[in-house]
Structure 1
Amino acid sequence: MIVVEQVGPLATIQDLGRPGWFDSGVGPAGAADRASFRLANRLVGNPEAYAGIEVLLGGLVLRADRHRTVAVTGAPAPATVDGTPVGHATVLELAAGRTLRLGLAGAGLRSYVAVRGGIDVPPTLGSRSRDTLSGIGPRPLRSGDRLPIGPAPHTLPSVEFAPMAEMNTDTLTIRAVLGPRDDWFVDAGALFGGEWTVSTDTDRVGARLDRHAGPPLRRSVTHELPTEGMALGSIQVPPSGQPVVFLADHPISGGYPVVAVVVDADIDAVAQARPGQALRIHRA
């Protein structure tokens, strides 16, 4: 077991999701920043799909019941073990009774905590991920939770530290492919002009964008669109004209037109973009 002593704004159990359930109306969910999540598992010697903890902004405190090997990646929340600062993206050895505390990250949104053996809660539809849109999977963590840890894998951690690029706090640049409904807009190319700002209306479902400068996205086709499938990274445009970039817990179908889709390699960066951060979209 590992004991949750304190939770910040939100902490959920995540793995790499539950693909294959679209026909039942269930999306994949999973870690919002997949690269950071995979790295945390690799650092502690877990297979990449083992369940860990996704932490919004920081504020999580964990206490080891016995010796545990852990790692923290993603948004660089300052970490301490019994008050002593420890490195980000490093292998941490917690003796029994020792406490790992995450402060508030100065950049990025989501940190990841992996424990050697993985968080061993019961899976739902083949995954231990929390889907915040549907409510499927283990509930968000609360103070006092005791999380079961699975048996340690046979592989051993191969590195003690993984160099990571600094989280971007300046203007974030991402790439997107136009379509499938770019012909529903007066000027779909306006998506690529000027800057957008990440709205405060941002969560695991999607990141809403406000126009910082440049022309708005105005529809030329005003009738309703029949409900159609929505992919991860879809940029859907509701009547307000504020695009929403769909993230891990996005709905699997929708009735608003999708003007473009963010390339897969840039979705993790959107998941780490903070409200108020400037964002530019380039044509892929």
Structure 2
Amino acid sequence: MTTLTIKKIGPGASIQDLGRRGLLAQGLSRGGAADRLALLEGAALLDQSPDCAALEMTAMGGTFNVDAPSRIALTGAPLRAQIDGESVTWHASHRLKPGQTLTLGPGKGGVWSYLHLGGGIQTDPIMGSRATHLSLKLGLIPETGTELPLKDDQSGPVERVVDVADRFKGGQVRVLASTHTALFSQDDIDRFETTTFTRDQRGNRQGVRLNHDGAPFAIADQLGIVSEVIVPGDIQMTGEGTPYILLPECQTTGGYPRIGSVLPDDLPKAAQAAAGAELTFRFIDRDQATDLHKSEDDLLKALKKSVRPLVRDPREMRDLGSYQLISGVTAGTNEKGELA
């Protein structure tokens, strides 16, 4: 079995897949990748299942080696990426050989970055998932010196790039009304849509805090709300009237009023907004949301169609001799088999 050795890694790293489904009633949130779209992008680049576990990192990145030839893909928030000091493209797949060093970081924007391996990381699954649940300390927490087992990867596509929309600088996020939206005054709902919020320094895989100028957002009987089920994407207003966007490791129930819930399609943008990034919100109705929504299967199909060969500048390729630059060359004969 191939091994990925972590020579160095920043804080907040974790192993992530699509999370643990069906355990909300038992008090365990789904978890999984903070940016689920990044998992689909990695699956499209390596032509493998999005269930394959990947390494999720913060902006500090890390340094890595493998002990057998491996395919890798880099998705999510872009980091500076190098193999043996040579820059490699982000949102692309590459080949990493034994003896080579992959160096990632620091970040260029966004929050969560992903290193995918051909075949996926093969740590022992717990309750149907390999995902690390950091707040519960469930699953493996990777750190410097950790050796991660990888599934033996059969030969597959490499040196490919996928086109992605820039979701790493904040922007407008679409929101659906929630159970509590009608409890807010219409003035507060209108003000929520016209306010520019700034992503606070405080935030993790449970949720992110937003700052804003002006009055807090509150309802009349805030203390009378009964705790009920909450899910990633819900926007809670704390007791001080400050919004929090809940992320994959959020608690399973809560009693703060929720002014709305971020569309699943826009949650990666909200999760990837770095400290200081500006976010605005726009309510849309359920019919609009249904028309706009794409299932993860549909997203993966679209991503696979957008994958294209990675074109590199030969002047920047120090290992030019290891590439097959011309295919279909014959052994000195013409089309009739005669010596040319």
TM-score interval, smaller chain: over 0.9
- What is the rounded CA distance, in whole Å, between the counterparts of 1:153 and 1:180 in structure 2? 48
Write the deviation string for residues 125-146 of structure 1: whole angstroms up to 9, x where unpaired. Answer: 000111122222222x111101
Per-residue Cα deviation, 1:32-62 (whole angstroms, up to 9, x for no partner): 1111121112212321110000111132111
Amino acid at match of 2:144: S
Once the 2 structures are TM-superposed, how far is the Cα of residue 266 of structure 1 from its aligned partner? 0.4
The code of the aligned residue for 1:242 comes to T
1:190 and 1:214 in contact (8 A); partners too: no
Q: Indicate the residue corresponding to 2:144 in structure 1.
A: 143
Q: How does 1:127-276 map to 2 (within 5 A)?
A: 127-139=129-141, 141-152=142-153, 156-157=156-157, 160-169=160-169, 172-186=171-185, 187-211=188-212, 213-276=213-276
Amino acid at match of 2:131: S
- Give the CA deviation at 1:107: 0.8
TM-score by length of structure 1 reads 0.93
- Please give the per-residue CA displacement for 1:158-194, whole angstroms capped at 9, x wherever unaligned: 771112233443x511011122112333433322122
Distance 1:176 1:260 in 2: 6
Q: 2:114 aligns with which of 108, 112, 115?
A: 112
SS at match of 2:92: coil
Greater shift, 118-127 or 143-152, is seen at: 143-152
Structure holding more helix per residue: 2
Amino acid at match of 1:266: D
Alpha-carbon shift at residue 215 of structure 1 (Å) = 4.2
Looking at structure 2, the residues matched to 164 and 83 of structure 1 have their Cα atoms a distance apart, in angstroms, of 25
Deviation per CA, 1:180-233: give whole Å up to 9, x if none.
11233343332212201111111111111111x454312211333221000220
Question: Using the alignment, how far apart are the partners of 2:177 and 2:30 within structure 1?
Answer: 24
Q: Distance in 2 between matches of 1:153 and 1:130?
A: 26
Gaps of 5+ in 1: none
Computing the radius of gyration from Cα coordinates, the structure with the larger value is 2
Gap change, CA 1:35 and 1:159, over 3 Å in 2: farther
SS in 1 for 2:106: coil
8 Å contact from structure 2 (residues 168, 274) kept in 1: no
The 1-side partners of 2:257 and 2:58 are apart by 29
- How many aligned residue pairs are there? 280
Query: Quick one: distance in 1 between partners of 2:210 and 2:197?
Result: 6
Checking the alignment, whether the CA contact within 8 Å between 2:65 and 2:102 is kept in structure 1 is yes
Say whether 1:58 aligns with 2:60: yes
Work out whether residues 42 and 157 of structure 1, in 8 Å CA contact, stay in contact via their aligned partners in 2: no
Letter in 1 for 2:233: G
Cα contact 1:133–1:250 (8 A) shared by 2: no
- Name which of structure 1's ranges 58-67 and 185-194 shifts more when overlaid on structure 2: 185-194
**Contact 1:185/1:221 (CA < 8 Å) preserved in 2?**
no
Q: Quick check: 1:9–1:57 contact (8 Å CA) kept in 2?
A: no
Q: Which shows bigger deviation, 89-98 or 115-124?
A: 89-98
- Contact 2:14 2:134 survives alignment (8 Å): no
Q: Which residue of 1 aligns with 2:10?
A: 8
